[in-house]
Amino acid sequence: MIIVTGGAGFIGSNLIRELNAKGYDHILAVDNLTKGEKFQNLIDCELLDYQDKQQFLNRLIHRDYIASTIEAVFHLGACSSTTEWNGQYLMQNNYDYSKILLQYCLARQIPFIYASSASVYGGNFTFKEERCHEKPLNMYGYSKYLFDQYIRQRLSTATSQIVGLRYFNVYGPREQHKGNMASVAYHFNHQLHTQGEIQLFEGTDGYTNGEQRRDFIYVKDAVAVNLWFLENPKKIGIYNVGTGRSQTFNDVANAVLSWHGYGKIKYIPFPDHLRGHYQSFTEADLTNLRNIGYPHPFKTVEEGVTDYLNWLNSTHPTQP
């Protein structure tokens, strides 16, 4: 059995689909379906079982699972809102929950592959997996940063696989439930459908209109990294998961406009509430990931957005 927490979510459901394609169908999906529309992400997934997060956590604490039947745990469940400032809520969901699951896996030598985030780097311009480059700008980033520090203290003594994956800006199918936290590619596509134009922020932090840069990674490429670590259980550590090249928000908007063949870009004032809490530049340093042997290339924005919009506009043509 493989356990995927956050299994009904964006990356989690894409991971389950790819695991299915590789012949894995004994999968326990764990999630919180209070936001019930997420069920749509699991309709075409083959599962052994589904459990609510709290039920799963209770069973974990009481050791109700047969550890020898668990091949690996992919821990993707978390509150992923970068605008959430309830620190107690974030620490319970992103830190305490992760520690309980980690300790369970370490005690039973179960591979543990979890989601970290590029938000741990904050406003830095060097995105390398080193403590000196990490300074989160928001509470979400801090919750991920703190768990990474907890992991680092245990890597040298661990007798089973531990892998942290620092996701940069992931976009692609099955993110429609995320609302405001969905990718800009998703929102640009919807804006074009409903308004005939795409809205981008005006310049900030020394960047001109729409020229803020992020490392945008297609979800299928992010999932491929997860699967590679599953197939290489001796590889451990914390690694960036991005393309290794930044592209502008204008690039994403133009890729959407190109796919549709119509529309324009409108620049809007940069929101005051994001000043000082916004990453205007990210670019994954992939040195460590490549050095341990990860071989696969990553799609450009133009390639990934084209594939994404082929899917999005055939399955959710007008969904907000």
Check: CB of residue 69 under 8 Å from CB of residue 1.
yes
Q: For CA atoms 200, 206, 207, 209, give the dihedral sign.
A: positive
Closest CA to 317 of 259, 248, 265: 259
Helices (H) and strands (E) in the chain, counts: 10, 13
Alpha-carbon distance of 280 to 232, in angstroms, equals 34
Closest CA to 139 of 93, 76, 79, 84: 84
Alpha-carbon distance of 32 to 37, in angstroms, equals 11
Determine which helix (DSSP H) or strand (DSSP E) holds 258, and give its type and residue range. helix 249-260
- Backbone dihedral angles phi then psi of residue 218, each to the nearest 5 degrees: -70, 140
Alpha-carbon distance of 266 to 69, in angstroms, equals 54
Among 65, 89, 135, 178, the active-site one is: 178
Q: 278 an active-site residue? A: no
Residues sharing a CB contact under 8 Å with residue 109, sequence separation 6 or more, in sequence order: 159, 160
Among 24, 104, 121, 140, the active-site one is: 140
Strand partners, 28: 3, 49
Q: 99 an active-site residue? A: no
Catalytic residue positions, numbered: 140, 178
